[in-house]
């Protein structure tokens, strides 16, 4: 459990309103655009048939490396210059990179473009949850679980666009991957425009830039039509808050390995790395595991899984604020999904496999909701970006090596999917177990802070 600060108490007084709805939409779109670009880059790689296997591999590494660099680079900048400030700059990087991809005339230009797209999407995945967690009432943080819909809808919408282009687009006009990139670019451009209207995180400003802090708090209250709200004396930095909110006089990465963050850094890194290892491998090899060749059937399976995942997020929204808290929501979600994966690999009936796949996504998204709440909440404001940046950069490395390991395991087992699936199932269960060692961050709302 975690005591709320005086700033969070003030946000509780203002309540959830129009501003939080706008911010929620912005952050959800951030994850939506990030996952759409990740899926689009994979489609671009598949469409570039005139390049070698080695060049395909380098493209994949370039995207993943860009994402890892974006995670640690933008998270560090967000601790120094502000959440909203960096959040607005990230989408500009993604938009310009997308334009470069669309205009690419050769392999080198594509390689550079996908690196910078990865840079932007990696930053978005880190900064979006930090931004919203620091701007909403503590009692309503459970609603942030629904923001993970971006993870579900991104691949679903991108694959739908891909299928429609495959069926109806004439490639003599323009390459299919290029027109797909144009469509996602337009969506990114819209997100860029609407993101410019969000305010800076009040928790980031608190105790550091007090004039801006007052302006932001009044702005949020005005947007929510809480005209009676006023900045009062308790919103001065108190003795209890001084340590948590003081300006760190040097780069904060070293602080995440010191008390009180040591435990969080160790077990978040283990848990999220194991999750990324499992998730990325299954995402790439799922068509082989399902043995579905028909495009319509494949999209139907994907759709059922994502809808099931969204249902899981609705359940998670209540679980994270229940007695289970963030920690056990994460642990139970991932442990159950790992067990379902073990059952999944032993099934042969197609309908039963689809049903188990849906149940797996349901449980996994519950775990993801817990993960994306407990991660940012495990760190104080001045090291939050650094902590998440480190954890997700290490986790990204695990995601990169996952397909290679899956491919190797399938090769040595004569393309038998049981061996890699069993490895992923065990990894998912261990991911949940590691999460159980985290300290729960569910806020305690008392009359005093």
Distances (CA, A) of 101 to 118, 144, 192, 255: 12, 32, 17, 38
How many beta carbons lie within 10 A of that of residue 322, not counting itself?
A: 11
The pLDDT value given to residue 288:
58
Instruction: Identify the CATH number of the domain defined by range 250-449.
Output: 1.20.1250.20
Over range 410-431, report the average pLDDT. 84
Q: How far apart are CA 171 and CA 166, in angstroms?
A: 9
Global pTM reads 0.85
For residue 95, which of 24, 28, 187 has the smallest C-alpha distance?
Answer: 187
pLDDT digits over 18-28, tens only? 999 999 999 99
Q: DSSP secondary-structure letter at 106?
A: S
Please determine, for residue 292, whether its predicted confidence score (pLDDT) is greater than 60.
no
pLDDT band at residue 249, thresholds of 50, 70 and 90? Answer: very low
Q: Are 269 and 394 in contact (CB under 8 A)?
A: yes
pLDDT band at residue 267, thresholds of 50, 70 and 90? Answer: very high
Please determine, for residue 437, whether its predicted confidence score (pLDDT) is greater than 90.
yes
Helix (H, G, I), strand (E, B) or coil at 432: helix
What is the token pair recorded at 319?
A: 């679980």
Each domain of the chain, given as residue ranges in start order, spans 1-228, 250-449
- Of all residues in the chain, the percent with pLDDT exceeding 70 is 86
Please determine, for residue 43, whether its predicted confidence score (pLDDT) is greater than 50.
yes
Give Cβ neighbours of residue 81 (< 8 Å, ≥ 6 apart): none
For residue 270, which of 438, 104, 418, 154 has the smallest C-alpha distance?
Answer: 438
The pLDDT value given to residue 49:
63
pLDDT band at residue 248, thresholds of 50, 70 and 90? Answer: very low
For residue 428, which of 363, 353, 380 has the smallest C-alpha distance?
Answer: 363
Highest-confidence segment of 5-9, 47-51, 99-103, 410-414: 99-103
The reply to whether 250-449 shares the fold of 1-228 is: yes
Q: Please give the CATH topology (third level) of the domain spanning 1-228.
A: Growth Hormone; Chain: A; (1.20.1250)
What is the token pair recorded at 425?
A: 């199932």
What's the mean pLDDT when you consider all of the chain?
Answer: 83
Long-range contacts of residues 52-59, Cβ cutoff 8 Å, at least 24 apart: 55/107, 58/111, 59/110, 59/111, 59/114
For residue 420, which of 402, 433, 432 has the smallest C-alpha distance?
Answer: 402
Sign of the CA dihedral with 41 first, then 47, 51, and 52 last? positive
pLDDT digits over 186-235, tens only? 999 999 999 998 999 998 888 777 788 888 888 999 898 887 776 665 55
H helices of 291-416, in order, are 295-319, 325-344, 350-377, 384-412
Furthest-apart CA atoms within the chain: distance in Å: 70
Q: How far apart are CA 326 and CA 346, in angstroms?
A: 31
pLDDT digits over 398-412, tens only? 888 887 787 788 778
The pLDDT value given to residue 152:
83
How many beta carbons lie within 10 A of that of residue 12, not counting itself?
A: 18
């Amino acid at each position: 459990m975690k005591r709320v600060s005086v700033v969070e108490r003030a946000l509780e007084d203002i309540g959830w309103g129009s501003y939080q709805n706008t911010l929620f939409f912005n952050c959800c779109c951030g994850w939506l655009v990030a996952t759409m670009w990740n899926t689009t880059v994979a489609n671009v790689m598949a469409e570039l048939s005139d390049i070698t296997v080695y060049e395909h591999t380098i493209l994949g590494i370039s995207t993943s490396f860009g994402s890892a660099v974006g995670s640690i680079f933008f998270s560090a900048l967000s601790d120094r210059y502000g959440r909203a400030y960096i959040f607005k700059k990230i989408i500009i990087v993604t938009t310009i990179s997308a334009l470069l991809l669309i205009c690419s005339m050769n392999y080198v230009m594509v390689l550079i473009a996908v690196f910078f797209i990865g840079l932007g999407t990696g930053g978005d995945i880190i900064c979006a949850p930090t931004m919203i967690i620091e701007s909403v009432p503590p009692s309503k943080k459970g609603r942030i679980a629904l923001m993970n819909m971006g993870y579900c809808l991104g691949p679903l919408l991108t694959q739908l666009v891909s299928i429609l282009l495959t069926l109806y687009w004439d490639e003599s006009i323009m390459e299919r991957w290029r027109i797909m990139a144009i469509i996602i670019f337009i969506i990114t451009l819209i997100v860029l425009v609407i993101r410019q209207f969000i305010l800076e995180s009040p928790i980031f400003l608190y105790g550091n830039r007090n004039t801006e802090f007052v302006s932001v708090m009044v702005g949020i209250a005005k947007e929510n039509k809480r005209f009676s709200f006023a900045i009062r004396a308790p919103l001065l930095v108190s003795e209890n808050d001084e340590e948590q909110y003081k300006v760190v006089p040097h780069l904060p990465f070293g602080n995440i390995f010191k008390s009180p963050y040591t435990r969080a850094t160790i077990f978040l890194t283990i848990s999220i790395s194991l999750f990324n290892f499992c998730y990325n491998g299954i995402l790439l090899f799922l068509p082989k595991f399902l043995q579905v060749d028909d495009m319509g059937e494949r999209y139907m399976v994907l759709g059922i899984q994502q809808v099931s995942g969204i249902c899981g997020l609705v359940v998670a929204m209540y679980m994270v604020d229940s007695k289970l808290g963030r920690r056990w929501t994460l642990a139970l979600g991932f442990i159950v999904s790992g067990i379902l994966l073990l059952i999944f690999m032993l099934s042969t009936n197609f309908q039963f496999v689809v049903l188990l796949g849906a149940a797996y996504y349901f449980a996994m998204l519950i775990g993801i909701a817990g993960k994306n709440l407990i991660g940012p909440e495990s760190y104080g404001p001045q090291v939050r970006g650094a902590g998440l940046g480190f954890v997700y950069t290490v986790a990204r490395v695990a995601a990169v090596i996952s397909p290679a390991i899956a491919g190797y395991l399938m090769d040595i087992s004569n393309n038998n999917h049981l061996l890699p699936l069993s490895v992923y199932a065990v990894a998912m269960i261990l991911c949940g177990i590691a999460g159980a060692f985290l300290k729960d961050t569910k806020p305690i709302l008392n009359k005093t802070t």
